[in-house]
Structure 1
Amino acid sequence: MSQLPLLVVVALLGLAVGSFLNVVIYRVPRNESLIHPRSHCPACGTEVRNKHNVPVFGWLLLRGRCAACEAPISPRYPLVEAGTAVLFVAVAARFGLSWELPAYLYLAAISVALAVIDLDVMRLPDKIVLPSYAVALVLIAPAVIAERSFSTAGRALLAAVVLYVGYFILAAMPRGMGGGDLKLAPLLGFYLGWLGWSSVAIGAFAAFLLGGLVAAVLMLLRRANRKSRIPFGPYMLAGAFLAVFAGAPIAQWYASLLVPTV
């Protein structure tokens, strides 16, 4: 499959997955079933018709309002769907039609859900994070076998341990990391470790850099203070994807600063 058809297929897949992620984002923090009942309006309980359940276009067709009671529907729904599609396309462009692609598409999907949930309720649900370890191992296994990437897999596992130890130390400090961040760190370490140690370093550093910058802006705008709780999961995930997409050029740029060329 050439690049363009792959990107189109992945974009459509991302829209469909994004629609499901909206269900995950709403129901998982409330401990509700992902299967029953069917998608419905939170205001009046009316089931969403199939034609209105088409990602992005359903919301546009309804003009952002329930077909039954005309209660407003948050624009976050189409944004999650479109954002997932864009992230899927970016991942597909990064990895191409490779053995690793399904594993990183899965990471993209759970990253969208976890980031939004953490922003909503300041929690990274175990129901998403913990099963993702098994899923990651299963999805990366074909790459290990087909490419005989045993040393790469070993590095990924070691990187998971390294990030866990680092976050464990931070969690033990006063006002340290939350339990959800601690559980997420090894998973991101595994994915970044597969790409290389420079990706691990960049992903970990970028998380704190991005989180610190946002916290500083919020304090300048008086939207937060030194005692405010700020969800860190979104910055961990953003830092990880920065490393996925730009880890190599960032590492080369940094190396050039340390050893300038003549």
Structure 2
Amino acid sequence: MFVVFVFGLLIGSFLNVVIYRLPEGQSIASPPSHCPQCGTPLKPVDLVPVLSWLMLGGKCRYCKAKVPARYALVELLTGFLFLFTYLQFGLSWMLLVHLVFVAVLIAMTFIDLDHQIIPDELNVFLLVIFVVANLALGFIPWKDAVFGALAGFIPLFLLVLLTGGAGMGMGDVKLMFVLGLYLGLWHTLLTLFLSFIYGGFFGVVLLATKIKKRKDAIPFGPWIALAALTTLYFGSNLISWYLGFLL
């Protein structure tokens, strides 16, 4: 368990690089990690997830510029979600698929919050991982995957057409298409339903607390991500409960 958590922290550190560089069109491989303020290359002691940020008091060792607490938050969030994913699914090859799924959703969430975009690179990466993993592991019937992709794509695509893209972009549509492949038909429908519930609820909260104004853009991607994670962990139980309630 501890190893999975530490692995998650390390991946979270890498996700910080992805979140910062990908929207800017920069390489995530080079140059090596450096302070964005003074440009000084960071040493391994500066890159220990969470601990380096705490020990340096949230500042750069070299120029003393403030380092946002969100860097440590992303690392901790990734660590805890990786651990929870392990506890839900156990040690298997499918665990790796789920961890990739979780990691991409984390990166996508923070990029969308910052820039109101979902990079095509993340959707393509998820698509490639799905095809390779399903060919190797056969974790979902291809027919169910295709129906799931269509169930995710069509409603949001029609919504974008009808609204002219107000409040939702094609990045969200592409994301739901790829997530539908992983989740299948019924879990994709649940994800869509939950994403609108989450988006509506938290949208009202943001407006009520004046964090956002009526004319401010509120990205939809984070609510898709939260809904997809809810479905990944609890989807089967939620669907069973709902069907049992109806019957």
Query: TM-score under structure 2 normalisation?
Result: 0.93
Matching residue of 1:156: 145
Give the SS at the match of 1:42: coil
2:162 is equivalent to residue 168 of structure 1: no
Q: Alpha-carbon deviation of 1:234?
A: 0.5
Deviation at 1:228, TM superposition (A): 3.0
How far has the Cα of 1:24 moved from its partner?
Answer: 0.5
In structure 2, stretches of 5+ residues that fail to align are: none
What secondary structure sits across from 2:93 in the alignment? coil
Larger CA deviation: 9-18 vs 116-125: 9-18
Q: 2:230 aligns with which of 225, 239, 242?
A: 242
More moved, 20-29 vs 223-232 = 223-232
Counterpart of 2:190 in structure 1 is 202
Q: How does 1:138-153 map to 2 (within 5 A)?
A: 138-144=132-138, 152-153=141-142
Gaps of 5+ in 1: 1-6
TM value normalised by structure 1: 0.88
- C-alpha contact 2:148 2:186 (8 A) present in aligned 1: no
Distance in 2 between residues matched to 1:31 and 1:15, nearest whole Å: 24
Matched, 1:251 2:239: yes
Does the aligned pair in 2 maintain the 1:66–1:72 contact within 8 Å? yes
Distance in 2 between residues matched to 1:74 and 1:168, nearest whole Å: 36
1:63 matched to 2:52:
no
> How many pairs are equivalent?
245
Runs of 4+ aligned residues of structure 1 deviating over 4 Å after TM superposition are: none
Q: Residues of 1 paired with 2:3 and 2:150: CA distance?
A: 35
Separation in 2, partners of 1:86, 1:33: 27
Aligned to 1:188: 179
The match for 1:3 is none
Q: CA deviation at 1:165?
A: 1.3
Moved more, 167-176 or 40-49: 167-176
